[in-house]
Amino acid sequence: MSDIQQLLDIMSRLRDPDKGCPWDQKQTYQSIVPHTLEEAYEVADTIENGDFDALRDELGDLLFQIVFYAQLAKEESRFEFIDVVAAISDKLIRRHPHVFADMKFDNAEQQTAHWEQTKAQERTDKTNQTPGQIQSQLDGVVKGLPALSLARKLQSRAARVGFDWPSAQGVFAKLEEEANECRASWDDDQARSEELGDLLFTCVNLSRHADVDPEQALRLANKKFEQRFRVMESIATKAGEQIDELSESRWEALWQLAKKETSQPKG
């Protein structure tokens, strides 16, 4: 705990009104949010790259964000860092009675059902619903999530009560339907935007049925595209070609070369 206390003391010094850092002094909960999101994505990026030396440092940066919020709250007499630690500890113990208590589950499905039941009760307690107030399956979903993650979360919540396709085949059919509607609305700016949204939403549904995280899948697709495009640029440059003057057929040929060069060997 001495290392944690040192970090808390550093944070307190940075926020000191008289001798602190001017940048840290002027920060608010709202101003830190973009930095928190950036640090979280940097953690994800180091994991995807398998750079675990960098991961240690990035996790430290992310921890600093939590310490920063806790310092702001302490200054306003709301709560302190130790309260954050106590809250997550209590939650983990409460949600794992099969580990920290005597509850037994016969299989993973029973454990998952109990987990969801516990979280649902926590959401009800947190919202302090009045008698007679209708509880929605979508209560508690964080609207600030990235759009792909939010779509998956909403769909998963609805699926718990049976609002879902029984198999991926239904999603494929819906995907084709949405693609046709998008194509038909292409000349209407407003309708085109709406139909594209529906198409993306259905793609997320397909990823859910495939048990694939859509955010992660798109991040990997972005990484693959960047890698291949850089290879295309390199090939064209070495051949003395101007990339902004390439024909469609030449781009396609370069793309195929890049795919071949970046393909992972099987076996």
Is residue 135 a part of any domain in this protein? Answer: no
Is residue 141 a part of any domain in this protein? Answer: no
Pair 87, 24 in one domain:
yes
Owning domain of residue 37: 2-95
What digits encode the pLDDT tens for the residues 39-69?
Answer: 998 998 999 889 999 999 999 999 999 999 9
pLDDT, averaged across the chain = 90
Model confidence at 248, pLDDT cuts 50, 70, 90, reads: very high
Please report the pLDDT score of residue 49 as a whole number. Answer: 87
Which of 227 and 130 is assigned the larger pLDDT? 227
Pair 35, 109 in one domain:
no
Is residue 192 a part of any domain in this protein? Answer: yes
Total of domains in the chain = 4
Pair 158, 112 in one domain:
no
Pair 74, 114 in one domain:
no
Share of the chain above pLDDT 90, in %: 70
Look at 65-69, 117-121, 172-176 and tell me which has the smallest mean pLDDT: 117-121
Model confidence at 130, pLDDT cuts 50, 70, 90, reads: low
What digits encode the pLDDT tens for the residues 175-225?
Answer: 999 999 999 999 999 999 999 999 999 999 999 999 999 988 998 999 999
What digits encode the pLDDT tens for the residues 131-171?
Answer: 556 778 888 888 888 899 999 999 999 998 899 999 999 99
* Res 126 pLDDT > 70: no
Q: Which CATH number do you get for residue 44?
A: 1.10.287.1080
Pair 7, 90 in one domain:
yes
Pair 81, 104 in one domain:
no
Is residue 267 a part of any domain in this protein? Answer: no
Pair 6, 78 in one domain:
yes
Residue 249: other Cβ atoms inside 10 A: 8
Is residue 139 a part of any domain in this protein? Answer: no
Pair 16, 68 in one domain:
yes
Tokens of residue 210, six digits: 């495939």
Pair 18, 52 in one domain:
yes
User: Could you tell me the pTM of the whole model?
Assistant: 0.65
Please report the pLDDT score of residue 74 as a whole number. Answer: 97
* Res 129 pLDDT > 60: no
**Per-residue 3-state assignment (H helix, E strand, C coil) for the chain:** CHHHHHHHHHHHHHCCCCCCCHHHHCCCHHHHHHHHHHHHHHHHHHHHCCCHHHHHHHHHHHHHHHHHHHHHHHHCCCCCHHHHHHHHHHHHHHHCHHHHCCCCCCCHHHHHHHHHHHHHHHHHHHHCCCCCCCCCCCCCCCCCCCHHHHHHHHHHHHHCCCCCCCCHHHHHHHHHHHHHHHHHCCCCHHHHHHHHHHHHHHHHHHHHHCCCCHHHHHHHHHHHHHHHHHHHHHHHHHCCCCHHHCCHHHHHHHHHHHHHHHCCCCC
Pair 14, 90 in one domain:
yes
